[in-house]
């Protein structure tokens, strides 16, 4: 297999396990390591002599991508991998690892299962920031959410919002989270939004600190085109795409829709969403 490996530079305590895993991949597959991650591995004494390096800007796809780190590590490469139809398996060395399939000590067995076809490919919906003030954007993609936020002010934001050209409401508050099912357990959940099964065909709009007792989250179809105009007394607002923020002037209008491609996330055959909620988020746990 042609495998692309990337990760974050916080792996020192996993050095031996990581060295064994990288050695295994080099012995059994055509391994490419993202150049910055490869430099980091070399710096902590991991042998990468039998692997190639690749530049993210020149990445042209692989049979499989392996993400070593937390959810943020996988999110940072999600759009790139989806554009090149490269499935990804997450190896968790972070805190929660909600998107990961296994821990590092299970990684070799996980790769062997993938090679035997004993795994699940979950096609995850992604969001696209289609345009800003009518100007087409260039591949601004989110796996979790696109969030509209106030910046450097306590002034409330007014956000007239339409769905497929029909007026929905004017949200008033600190902001608005537009979330995929994958992102429903991230910022959306913190904002009081609904948890959605990962493969459902829907999106959630969840207001942040709404200035109304009746302004509740709403779930819409994932074929919805969402247009939001953002007004505030302050000069600037923020739009965050999976945590990557951009600053826009007050009065800006953004159009958001489902991205033209999906990310294939690999999980174990026995992976169960409800189990993940209970084990990692303590969903429904009785503390009495």
Residues labelled as active-site residues: 71
Burial code of 208-238, b = ≥16 C-beta within 10 A, e = fewer? bebeeeebebbbeebebebbbbbbbebeebb
The first and second tokens of residue 231, run together, are: 């007004």
Contact partners, residue 199, CB within 8 Å, separation at least 6:
122, 123, 124, 181
96 burial level (CB within 10 Å; 0-12, 13-18, 19+)? middle
**3-class secondary structure per residue, 102-115:** EEHHHHHHHHHHHH
Residue 249: CB atoms within 10 Å: 11
Distances (CA, A) of 115 to 118, 121, 177, 270: 8, 13, 38, 16
C-beta of residue 29 within 8 angstroms of C-beta of residue 4 = no
Contact partners, residue 74, CB within 8 Å, separation at least 6:
67, 88, 90, 99, 100
């Amino acid at each position: 297999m042609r495998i692309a490996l990337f990760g974050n530079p916080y792996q020192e305590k996993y050095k031996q396990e990581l060295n064994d895993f990288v050695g295994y991949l080099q012995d059994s597959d055509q391994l490419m390591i993202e150049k910055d991650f490869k430099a980091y591995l070399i710096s902590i004494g991991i042998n990468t002599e039998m692997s190639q390096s690749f530049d993210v800007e020149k990445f042209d796809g692989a049979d499989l991508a392996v993400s070593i780190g937390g959810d943020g590590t996988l999110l940072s490469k999600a759009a790139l991998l989806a554009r090149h139809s490269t499935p990804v398996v997450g190896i968790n060395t972070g805190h929660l690892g909600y998107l990961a399939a296994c821990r590092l000590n299970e990684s070799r067995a996980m790769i062997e299962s993938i090679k035997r076809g004993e795994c699940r490919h979950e096609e995850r919906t992604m969001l696209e920031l289609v345009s800003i003030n009518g100007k087409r954007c260039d591949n601004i993609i989110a796996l979790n959410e696109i969030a509209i936020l106030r910046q450097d002010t306590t002034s409330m934001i007014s956000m007239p919002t339409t769905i497929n050209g029909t007026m929905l409401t004017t949200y008033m508050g600190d902001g608005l989270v537009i979330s995929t099912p994958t992102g429903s357990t991230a910022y959306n959940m913190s904002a009081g939004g609904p948890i959605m099964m990962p493969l459902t065909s829907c999106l959630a709009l969840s207001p942040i600190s709404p200035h109304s007792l009746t302004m509740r989250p709403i779930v819409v179809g994932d074929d919805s085109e969402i247009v939001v105009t953002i007004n505030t007394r302050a000069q600037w607002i923020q739009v965050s795409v999976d945590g990557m923020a951009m600053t826009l002037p007050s009065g800006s209008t953004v159009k958001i829709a489902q991205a033209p491609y999906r990310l294939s996330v690999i999980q174990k055959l026995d992976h169960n969403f409800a189990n993940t909620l209970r084990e990692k988020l303590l969903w429904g746990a009785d503390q009495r």
